[in-house]
Amino acid sequence: MATHESWHARDRGRRRQSGNGEAHGDGSLSRALGWFSIGLGLAEIAAPDALARLIGIPEDNANRRMLRAFGLREIANGVGILAQPQESGWVWARVGGDLMDLAFLGNNLRSEEAQPNRIAAAAAAVAGVTALDVLCGQRLAQENGASSSTTANRPWSRHIHVRQTVAINKPPKEIYGFWRDLRNLPRFMSHLERVEVQDDRRSHWVAKAPAGRTVAWDAEITEDQPNERLAWRSLEGADVDNSGEVHFERAPGGRGTILRVEMRYTPPGGVFGAVAAKLFGEEPQMQVRDDLRRLKQVLETGEVTVAEGSMALTHPAQSWPDQSRRIPSNAAEAGR
């Protein structure tokens, strides 16, 4: 089907555009550091005595043990970096290891059999590597915050990319109309608390986060083809960078509409990142799939399906319907 192909073509184009970071300069620096870690680690494990001689520390049992332990740490770190060259966390771990190495060297200076000149040289080398690690870590953190990477959802990844479809027994125009009034979104997107519409393009979104917190952002409509396509993205200063788009496609045989939704969330590092990464719970694809199910229920039956014993109600992002309050029957009510 033409529209389905164009959907995929657009998607492939986007993937090529943003790249997967492999060709990026700092991707290759972090990989180099990864291989360096592994190499150093192997040396520390296989030949601790030779290494001890090289860096001027006494060849005693304690040092041998420490070097071997450091070796294991280096290898683990290196493997982590090579597995996820774009994750700044692994590179920052190297920095921690470097500081440990420096402390170790400093400690050995006190020993009688130490050779201070060699230790000093080793420390300078470590300091140099530390500088590289810090540089790389900073660049990666920046990059991850700014990019709209289409990395697949891995449990430990902070990039959330979701694609889901649903068939709804209503014409595209009706569904477009409902979605275009962004105040309606919290009626089926369980992670959203409210959306305030400011003008034709701009809106303010507030999302629920664990422990009763909220995250917020301003957004603008970037594409609006009535009854066909809608796209939006968050503006500068967003707690969580994100963008989304929805396609409305007439289902074959006039049997309603096929909705295709794609959303991307790229939270920054730090506390906000950990919090925002949980916006979609543990299973973003499932969460959005359930959101679209709720949209279908609201549009087809006028209400969200609930059952007292349903597990849907025990999901952290869901809330028990307040029986003293009517389920909002329109956007204005939902916005309050």
Partner 1 sequence: MKANCWHGKKDMRVETVPDPKILNAHDCIVRITSTAICGSDLHLYNGFNPAMQPGDIVGHEFMGEVVEVGKGLQKLKVGDRVTVPFPISCGSCLSCQRNLFSVCENSNPNAGMAEELWGHSPAGLFGYSHLLGGYPGGQAEYARVPYADVGPLKIPDELDDEQVLFLTDILPTGWMAAEQCDIQPGDTVAVWGCGPVGQFAILSAFLLGAERVIAIDRFEYRLRMAREKCKAETLNYAENDVHHTLMEMTGGRGPDAVIDASGMESHGLGLAGAYDRAKQAMMLETDRAVALRQAIMAVRNGGTVSVPGVYAGFIDKFPMGSVMNRALTIKTGQTHVQRYHRELLERIQKGEIDPTFIITHRMRLEDAPHAYQIFNDKQDECMKVVLKP
Using CA atoms, how far apart are residues 163 and 245, in angstroms rounded to an integer?
10
Q: Which residue from 110, 152, 309, 336 is in contact with partner 1, where contact means CB under 8 A?
A: 309
Question: Do 27 and 149 form a contact (C-beta atoms < 8 A)?
Answer: no
Q: Please list the residues that pair with 215 across neighbouring strands.
A: 207
169/222 with CB nearer partner 1? 169
Q: Does 286 bind partner 1 (CB under 8 A)?
A: yes
204/315 with CB nearer partner 1? 315
Using CA atoms, how far apart are residues 133 and 119, in angstroms rounded to an integer?
21
Q: Does 297 bind partner 1 (CB under 8 A)?
A: yes
> How would you classify the pairing of strands 160-168 and 257-266?
antiparallel
Residue 163 CB, nearest distance to partner 1 (Å)?
Answer: 16
> How would you classify the pairing of strands 192-197 and 257-266?
unpaired
Nearest by Cα to 229 from 203, 250, 248: 248
Q: Does 296 bind partner 1 (CB under 8 A)?
A: yes
Residue type, 309: G
Q: Does 293 bind partner 1 (CB under 8 A)?
A: yes
Count the residues of the shown chain that bind partner 1, applying the rule CB under 8 A: 29
Q: How many CB atoms lie within 10 A of CB 173?
A: 13
Q: Does 169 bind partner 1 (CB under 8 A)?
A: yes
Residue 83 CB, nearest distance to partner 1 (Å)?
Answer: 29
Sheet with 257-266, edge to edge strand ranges: 160-168, 257-266, 241-250, 229-234, 213-225, 202-209, 192-197
Q: Does 61 bind partner 1 (CB under 8 A)?
A: no
Given the rule CB under 8 A, which of 141-149, 193-201, 226-234, 290-298 is the region that contacts partner 1? 290-298
Q: Does 301 bind partner 1 (CB under 8 A)?
A: yes
Q: Does 19 bind partner 1 (CB under 8 A)?
A: no
Given the rule CB under 8 A, which of 2-10, 26-34, 108-116, 286-294 is the region that contacts partner 1? 286-294
